[in-house]
Structure 1
Amino acid sequence: MMSERYPRRILLAVTGMSTQVVTETLWALLAKGELPTEVRLVTTEHGRNRAVRDLLDPKDGRFHAFCRDYGLEGKIAFSEDSIRVIESASGDRLTDIRTPEDNARAADVILKVVRSLCADERARVHVSIAGGRKTMGFFAGYALSLFGREQDRLSHVLVSEPFESNRDFFYPSPVSRNILSADGRLLDEAEARVTLAEIPFVRLREGLSANFPEDCTRYEDVVERAQAEMLPPVSLRIELREGAEPVLLCSGRRVNLAPTPMAVYVWLAERRKRSADGVRPGLDAAAEILALHSELFPRRSGDHARSLRALKHEEDVLPYFQEKRSLIHRALREALPERLAESYFVAALGRRPNTVYRLNVDPDAIEIVRIPDARSTEKHRAQNPPR
């Protein structure tokens, strides 16, 4: 059973002023046979005060009432010490989430709490996003996506009408017990229906490094690091096939380029592979590109002729080159995720009119392979048998 495998079972809720979500979720988990051993909250100062009043008051607290009603006294650890209040950068407790800075602090705190709880191998973490601001729920869900394991869960609770909007309803009672509706009608708590809606989430943890991200405490930094780690390594492979058109592979994915942009890209890759400096396109560069075009695409004489006509004058070269650069970037964006595509872009370095161009790819990550035509190889072997 899950309870035997994980002796520590934690319900983590991000709450605002709707403290009912805590007992509603506890009831739903009890109904599934997945009762937590402890409850943790992340909230504001106002949310904390409301939780202490509504849930933890020794006499009238609804958490204690829930435990009494279902014979759970002493089985779920939940006290004022279980509530983490979001603080400002200066250490003041936030009464509400009002500004972008407050929002960032909430993200940082939620991330830290989720990461800490998911670090315990003996624990199963159940994150509820039923309460609090929508952004807080998003932060909790994304943090669980980063650090959650196979045993961890994400959920929301669905409460039947007219109990959903009733401030006095906290959980379905095991016996008939009445509360008043907003229009003064009697409602029996025992008739309420509360359903736990589990939310599937992508577990990214296995795709990240083992020590990720020990040196990151800000939510924004963690997201950036995760994005970087999930991208495949940059590796540029160009296969120059005899009797066929070149093949361009970026991080193992094929990128299709028209002949002229391909000739420009191969030319830049060869320069970068030699660790040559950036180049300012002129007639000399144009001549090299055209010669390479003829070599790579011998059957594309029409393209070659058009390029010759377009590159008669020095002042024609830069606009022509920039046009091909734009086509290269468009093809990379179509074939790769945006951030990965940028790793293969043609960088423009320096200010005009002294701008030079080179590939972003590191020289050590470039592989240019010449592959002979299989038919030519067989013919050569036939004409030169081993002695």
Structure 2
Amino acid sequence: MHGNSPTKPRPRPPVASVPVPRQPVAEPAGGLDELRASLFASLPRADQRKRAREYLDGLLATHGRKSIRNIAAAVSGRAAEQRLHHFICESTWDWTPVRRTLARYVAVTAPDHAWVVRPMRPPRNARWVLGVWSAWRRASVPVNWRLRPAGDHHRQGKGSLPRSTPQRPESVLEGVVGSCAELVRDWGLRPRPVVMDARGSDVPALVGGLAALGLPVLLRIGAGTLLHPACSASRAADRGMPAGELVGMARGRFASGSDGSEAAVATVRVPGQPGTHAGEAVSASLVAFGGTGTKVTAQLWLATHSDVAAGVLRRMSMLVQRVDDDRLHIADRVGIGDFTGGSLRGWHRHVTLASAAHAAMVFSRGTSET
């Protein structure tokens, strides 16, 4: 999967970036009590619910890095540090119901969202981290996380591993499909389009895995990704053609957007995976977004949505930038990446509560209008 570094030319964000105030994050004016009451209802003990509220309040109020020590000092004084450390790193509460409640809350509040998959810098004892964000035109909220332990963590220290950790190490592709499967199969959420930067990934396997879940995709792909033209009798085409060449063949077929932008569109087939349940080729649209006029500057996107206008796909592609903006201006400020402990369970609990803090900031600002 492609990294987080900006790619030129980069798409214009759908809305202006959220401004970064000079003061520290403050507790939202309203709605936090209702949100946290529903989020923490699954915690079995009253003391756990109290610690969760303290930790969430601390993420919203703490200056600087959101370490457990700093959070304790902000909400209850240093005496609370040991209690919060136990709550995050050693307690028995399950973060999955909290994430499920948050995802359902977002689905009701912002029903026209898509799921954007983005990587995040992993903690020191993990190889990679993926976040699934519910994203719409005005905002985005992280609702699920996937982590692959580093080295031999699968064989060591079972107490530090989440119960949901797969028995064998996952690939990034398996992590993407697994995290989306959790949303639709385990949590019962209505399927949403999956948007991600898939350059460097096994695109056919990714499309097939998500198609098996009933999820349409919009994937940014590289010019060398092999696809099949929808109608061709040549043997070379049957073996696949680079996406860049297919776009070149389609440059006479433009779809104009209301903002004056243009896109070249080609109908293609994504090869299936032999010997799997996803072995059938998948029909898709290959779209190259460019500027005005007739020149297409290749940003290549592959969409399995049926009968969706190129302008709509272009706006959906901008959700990747929406997520990156919100991660920088909201999630980073509430400490999404500040956990430094060695416990993977602790990391999952911290990132779950930081996601809740992010949601509290988003919805308190009125950015949830759909």
TM superposition score category, shorter chain reference:
under 0.3
Higher Rg: 1
TM-score for the superposition, normalised by structure 2? 0.22
Greater helix share, 1 or 2? 1
The structure whose RCO (Cα within 8 Å, separation 6+) is larger is: 2
TM-score for the superposition, normalised by structure 1? 0.21
